Amino acid sequence: MGNQKKKKGLDMQVITIVTVLLVVLGLGIYSLVSNLTGSSSAESVKQNNDVLTKGQPAIGSPDAPVKLVEFGDYKCPSCKMFHDEVYPKLKKDFIDTGKVQMHFVNMAFLGPDSMTAAMAGESIFKQKPEAFWKFYDIVYQNQQAEDKVWATPEFLTDLVKKNIPEVDVNKLSQDLKNNTFKSAVDSDNLLAQTHQVNSVPTVYVNGKKVDSSMKYEELKKAIEKELQGK
């Protein structure tokens, strides 16, 4: 009888030890998988960020820890609103302070002159990369009704001639006439399609889509979250 009790006690100890070992092993495996998954996810986000920003017009320090990408159409009223109301705050708080580098990617789809305006932007970026953001400003400042074909080669070259003297307007005019940068805009549109961008403006912060980018406070939260993670 005593031996049976002793045996039962030993069995319980063995069961307890095995259970503890299994729990520890399970936690170890979970931790390993979590770390691997986390690393994989982080790497995936970084790769996505690299794809979104490569070769695109940029403003801000290249060493900025946060990369922001805006998909936009120069004819889009909401994009103008983003430019007029969100961009100035974004520039003052984060771009000018070296915390954010902003990139612009075309999603030209609202009309035939969406493509014309996008090609003009690409031409200027090729000529004078630093002048691109002046173009970004003046086009939205002079945006007309969405249902009107206003972003014509004549309108755009005249606008650039009056506002960005460092740009060769003859070269710009020739580029528009020859559709020189249509393939670049097509590539941007494909990038938007690949990322399932179905409206503009759409904003990504360090490769992650921001759902409420028209609300500056929401965009600010997304940026600050990335800054805290650095």
Only one residue has tokens 């070296």, namely 98
pLDDT string in tens for the chain (230-residue length): 555 555 555 566 766 676 666 655 655 554 444 454 445 556 666 677 788 999 999 999 999 999 999 999 999 999 999 999 999 999 999 999 999 999 999 999 999 999 999 999 999 999 999 999 999 999 999 999 999 999 999 999 999 999 999 999 999 999 999 999 999 999 999 999 999 999 999 999 999 999 988 999 999 999 999 999 86
In the 8-state DSSP scheme, what is residue 129? G
| Cβ atoms 63, 230 nearer than 8 A | no
SS3 of residue 143 by DSSP: coil
Q: So what CATH class is 52-228? A: alpha beta
pLDDT in tens, 119-163: 999 999 999 999 999 999 999 999 999 999 999 999 999 999 999
In whole angstroms, what is the distance from residue 214 CA to residue 207 CA? 17
Contacts of 25 (CB under 8 A, 6+ apart): none
**DSSP-derived pairing of the beta strands 100-106 and 58-59:** antiparallel
pLDDT at 23: 57
Q: What sign does the CA torsion over 130, 139, 186, 174 have?
A: negative
The whole-model pTM stands at: 0.81
pLDDT at 47: 73
SS3 of residue 158 by DSSP: helix
In whole angstroms, what is the distance from residue 151 CA to residue 145 CA? 10
Q: What is the dihedral of CA 100, 104, 105, 106, to 10 degrees?
A: 160
Domain parsing of the chain, residue ranges: 1-30, 52-228
Range list of β-strands (E), the chain: 58-59, 66-72, 100-106, 202-205, 208-210
pLDDT at 24: 54
> Per residue in 70-90, is it b (16+ CB within 10 Å) or e — as a string?
bbbbbbbeebbebbeebbeeb
